[in-house]
Amino acid sequence: MTKLRVISRRELAKHASEDSLWVAYKGKVYDVTEFAPDHPGEPEFVLQWGGKDVTKVMADAHSHEHSDAAYDILADWVIGELEPSADGDGADADADRAIKPEDVDLNQDPGNLAALDAQLVDDLARQKKDLLDLSKPLVWQMLTSNFSKDFYLTQVHIPHHLPEPAYLFGNPILETLTRTPWYVVPIVWVPVVAYLAYEASKVYAPDMIASLFVAGLVMWSFFEYTFHRFLFHIELLLPDHPFALTFHFLCHGIHHHLPMDRMRLVLPPIFFAIIVQPPWFAFRAFLDFPTCAGLFAGGVAGYVIYDLTHYYLHHARVYTAYLRDLKKYHLAHHYKEYNAGYGITSKFWDYVFGTVLDYTSKPKKA
């Protein structure tokens, strides 16, 4: 392991801007410049602690208590060790007494590591057990993996952050097909909504079209919940096989592993075009085309609202109380408890089915 350089407190204090943002935590210094714009609490929260020691504030439940996932992400940005304080008190003293990573043989038996500082053990375990090498194409690694389902499910729900989108494929053409900018969703699907509404208008009056449209929105909201809970989070029924784990990873696992990947937050148009086919033909089996058109105009519009809301909750600065609450709620699904809080645009179905996530509770321990 490369020896970390020692960084003075004076140097740390110089890096307190959006262009260069460092923080100290338990005796180590982290460059969080690239991560700050994607911080779940928005960049302003990180910026106010730029150039300072965040050891206490990261554990402060009243300020901004962090989950275990936050510390895993933080570990990716370590750049040095903070010089010891003059009085040797507090977190710095603990860090000074801790065994340094460069002094540890990562190949020794884990049972012999019991004497190490607890935080160091966590860091070493994380370094040895990363799910994938994020610098290389991910799909081939998944297909040729030999880890168990339990290991995969534990590791894939540990969030990581990359400044640029990860690569799924080495082939540039295949890779391009996996990336979808947010604005593609309205460009592709709003015309479809307009077409379906137009077809319904050939038969129904405006009030009936509005009723079908609203019914379609409700239909989508239920589909949004069930799809997220019972397909994306199908962990209990997932076979313990590389192909099945790869399928899960491509459907949703990658989003939990890299939750701030801007290119994989909305569904590729071809994917939504495929999954909308079964419900369309199911409804067409007993409803005429104009009625289905009115319903699916609302359903597809609901999907557009869902995907744009999802992207917004991850990457935008929210200004209304409702969206701020939704943002905290959804990010808690990523960073605290992934087995609850399945609603994206609304908590309604979470209340109905008893899966409401209390984002004010203490983070779940691994």
What residues are designated binding site? 39, 66, 228, 233, 252, 255-256, 310, 314, 330, 333-334
Measured CA to CA in angstroms, residue 308 lies from 295, 316, 357 at distances of 20, 11, 22
**Side chain identity, residue 58:** M
Distance between CA atoms of residues 179 and 18, nearest Å: 27
Closest to 225 measured CA to CA, from 106, 114, 347: 347
CB atoms within 10 A of CB 197: 22
Q: Is 66 exposed, middle or buried (0-12, 13-18, 19+ CB in 10 A)?
A: buried
What's CA 165's distance to the chain center, in Å? 13
The Cα–Cα gap between 35 and 19 comes to 11
The CA distance from 272 to 100, in Å, is: 49
Report the binding-site residues for heme.
39, 66
**Residue ranges at the known binding site for Zn(2+):** 228, 233, 252, 255-256, 310, 314, 330, 333-334
CA distance readout (Å), 83 to 6, 10, 32, 46, 93: 6, 10, 19, 22, 10
